[in-house]
């Protein structure tokens, strides 16, 4: 099996790929990037928490124009994963309103973004409909 590295550092690969967030010990706010202080309560203590892989589509837009090299159309979305909002694309389904609907159940899925000269795969995540 090819060596794989996560495309973003809050994606954890392995048998059960999932996202991790930094959760503020003071107020519970969650951030996917590294923070020195909480944007809500200015607390400085964080712990790492696993984010649920199943959720619900909260908002989306079908993107038909993008930078050169980006395949269109694709579905940009915000998904609620057990109370944590995550931005990601809806994947593994046709990018049209017949297949992508507000409130639909989705699940985290990974896909290979690209492979370098040594065969190492960069892996990103998206959300696929749960049928
Ligand atoms: Zn806080």
pLDDT digits (tens, 9 = 90+) for 75-122: 999 999 999 999 999 999 999 999 999 999 999 999 999 999 999 999
Q: What is the pLDDT of residues 30-42, one digit of tens each?
A: 999 888 999 999 9
CA 37 / ligand 1 centre spacing (Å): 8
List beta partners, residue 98: none
Distance between Cα 31 and ligand 1 center (Å): 10
* pTM score: 0.90
Find the 46 Cα to ligand 1 centroid distance in Å.
9
What is the spatial distance between Cα 35 and Cα 37, in angstroms, rounded to a whole number?
5
Comparing C-alpha atoms, which of 92, 80, 95, 100 is closest to residue 126?
A: 92
Whole-number Å distance, alpha carbon 48 to ligand 1 midpoint, is 14
If one counts every other C-beta atom within 10 angstroms of the C-beta of residue 58, the result is 14
Distance from Cα 101 to the centre of ligand 1, integer Å: 33
Task: Report the C-alpha gap between 108 and 18 in whole angstroms.
Answer: 7
């Amino acid at each position: 099996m090819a060596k794989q590295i996560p495309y973003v550092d809050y994606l954890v690969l392995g048998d059960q790929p999932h996202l991790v967030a930094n959760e503020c010990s003071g107020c519970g706010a969650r951030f996917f990037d590294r923070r020195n202080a909480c944007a809500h309560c200015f607390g400085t203590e964080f712990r790492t928490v696993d984010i649920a892989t199943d959720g619900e589509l909260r908002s989306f837009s079908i993107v038909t124009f993008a930078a050169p090299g980006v395949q269109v159309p694709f579905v940009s979305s915000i998904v609620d994963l057990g109370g944590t909002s995550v931005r990601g694309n809806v994947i593994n389904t046709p990018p049209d309103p017949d297949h992508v609907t507000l409130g639909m159940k989705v699940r985290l899925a990974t896909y290979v973004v690209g492979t370098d000269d040594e065969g190492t795969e960069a892996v990103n995540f998206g959300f696929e409909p749960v049928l």
